[in-house]
Structure 1
Amino acid sequence: MPNVKAAPTLRRRRLGSTLRSYREKAKLSQEQVAQAMGWDESKVSRIENAKARMPHRDIPRLLKLCGIADPEVITALEGLAKDAGKQGWWQPYGDVVAAVYRDYLTLESDAESTHIWTPNLIPGLLQTGAYAREIIAATAITRTPEEVNALAEVRRTRQAVLTARPDGPLKLWAVIHEAALHQRFAPSFAVMREQLRHLLDMADLPNVSIQVMPLTATPHPGLIGLFEIVRFPHPWPTVVSLENLRGGYFVEGTADVKVFETAFERVVAAAESVDDSRELIKKIMERNGT
């Protein structure tokens, strides 16, 4: 795939919006901050709007100006400022990875944990290569075969966050509807056999919890559709990711996020336990000769 350099906008946007929030809470104008920092006023605006780089060495002084002394906050923002210009591992895939998907991959790279409810599919972080290709080919209806293969490769590569992330593996809690475990693919029944075995293998990881929502489950909020709750270390707020045929989008804000967190708790309560889910996956494999 072509090596296209994409602007690392998400981390810069998160940093800018956080700094703006702290400035406004301190009741400081952009002009006041610029004067105190020895900057041109337009620099404050550019930083807060993700149009300029924020030097990490200036973070402590700026936060002190805003009355922020929490060392965890200072360290977190310094780290984000340092990483704001980093190119993601997905950059060599160029425009095949859409802007919203690049944003999601950035969030996933920075996240502490993710809780996902999937009513129709195996979650991307738990998909085998063959399963991913079949699903992407069926759902990404505007993509060429070459793009489908590239996206399947991206999906498999991103799974390293579960096992090989330098700062520790991502914690994954996935609730999958039983219907997704009965999926069949025209090319080969082996695709689902491999996928179910892979689910059992992944469930052995200490940072991965998998539950199955049985066909006989009582009604629950997950009936509305797929959603994913992405959580970060302090001070970063939780983000909810939603998807549809045209891509994905994010929900932020304490009140809106709380709705999804409550919904996930009810989804978990309606699903089989982790141990019973493992047995159910095994039974489905045996029942279908897989």
Structure 2
Amino acid sequence: MASPTLRRRRLSRLLRELREASGSTASKVAKEAKRRSGKHRGWSASKLTRLEGAEWKRVQADDVLMLLDIYEVTDPAERSSYVTLAKEANQQGWWATFGDALGSGQFVGLESEASSIRSYESMSIPGLLQTPEYARAVIAGNGMVSDETELAQRVDARMFRKNVFTKMNPVTFWTVLDEAALLRITPELKGQLEYLLEMGNRPNVGIQVLPMSRGPHAAMTGQFVIMEFPPPDLPVVYLEVMSEELYLEKPQEVTRYQHFYDYVQAEALSVSDSRVLIRDRLASL
């Protein structure tokens, strides 16, 4: 199933690009939309800004067609493609079946359709590479779950995300782990280290470890994820600060984090040397 999250972001970007190409401000377009449709649609500059910023849950096809009229998009096939995109963006994602276990669903909605994911993790194993036991320990450790039922649901949701590795076109996943993440794995969770070695055998998965002996490095301020998608969708950088989620899409922002990733990857051990370090850590437990 197509990700409504990705479709929403694509539709918003395309509408913004159409307005910018027309040379109009959001205020001018909103006034024209209000004039053409009457007051019942509630057009305003803030509404258009929300539409262009993907800050909406559902969009009316009539609103999209109104904007296409203003931007003088008359080709029937192109107009139809926008309506289809709006319908797909309004669909419910698979993550809704897990309630709020996956937050807003925005991150997993992007993750589920990414063709390439690169991550730097400073203190924990990436969710896509976690065992159920490790995930349970991490989720319980944050003190945010209320009972066993919620804990089990959150673990199940995290495990379900691994479908990105088994779909028709599996994601290419590459991660750089700070050695500190490995040192936090206790003896009862050593199966997590075994799982890393197992997943590292996959042709579409790369795992590198950044030794603590390397000292200060470019990404010491925190972890991040770079997701890339097949055209026409653009890369997105995901940042998580405590309970806040940030998504960066501007080319200069994405490029900056791509450079950060290049730096930490260059400092990290090779894939083969990283496997040796993981095995040594496993043996020590």
Provide the TM-score with structure 2 as the length reference. Answer: 0.78
Name the counterpart of 1:254: 251
Q: Give, as a single letter, the amino acid of the residue that structure 1 aligns with 2:121.
A: T
Q: Give, as a single letter, the amino acid of the residue that structure 1 aligns with 2:15.
A: L
Q: Percent identity?
A: 34
Q: Give, as a single letter, the amino acid of the residue that structure 1 aligns with 2:181.
A: A
SS in 1 for 2:100: helix
Task: Please show how residues 1-290 of structure 1 align to structure 2 within 5 Å.
Answer: 11-27=7-23, 30=29, 42=41, 49=51, 50=56, 51-54=58-61, 65=72, 80-99=85-104, 102-141=105-144, 143-163=146-166, 165-166=167-168, 168-185=169-186, 189-192=187-190, 194-286=191-283, 288-289=284-285
User: Can you list the C-alpha shifts for 1:78-136, whole angstroms capped at 9, x where unaligned?
Assistant: 8744531332222122233322xx00011111212111000110100000001000001
Residue 154 of structure 1: CA displacement? 0.6
**Number of positions where the alignment pairs a residue of Structure 1 with one of Structure 2:** 266
Residues 240 and 126 from structure 1, CA distance in 2 versus in 1: closer, same or farther, beyond 3 angstroms? same
SS in 1 for 2:112: helix
Contact 1:118 1:177 survives alignment (8 Å): yes
CA distance in 1, matches of 2:12, 2:61: 8
Q: Which runs of 5+ in 2 are unaligned?
A: none
Contact 1:115 1:229 survives alignment (8 Å): yes
SS in 2 for 1:169: coil
RMSD: 3.5
Q: Give, as a single letter, the amino acid of the residue that structure 1 aligns with 2:154.
A: L
Provide the TM-score with structure 1 as the length reference. Answer: 0.77
CA distance in 2, matches of 1:141, 1:21: 40
SS in 1 for 2:214: coil
Contact 2:114 2:227 survives alignment (8 Å): yes
Residues 126 and 79 from structure 1, CA distance in 2 versus in 1: closer, same or farther, beyond 3 angstroms? farther
Residues 267 and 76 from structure 1, CA distance in 2 versus in 1: closer, same or farther, beyond 3 angstroms? farther
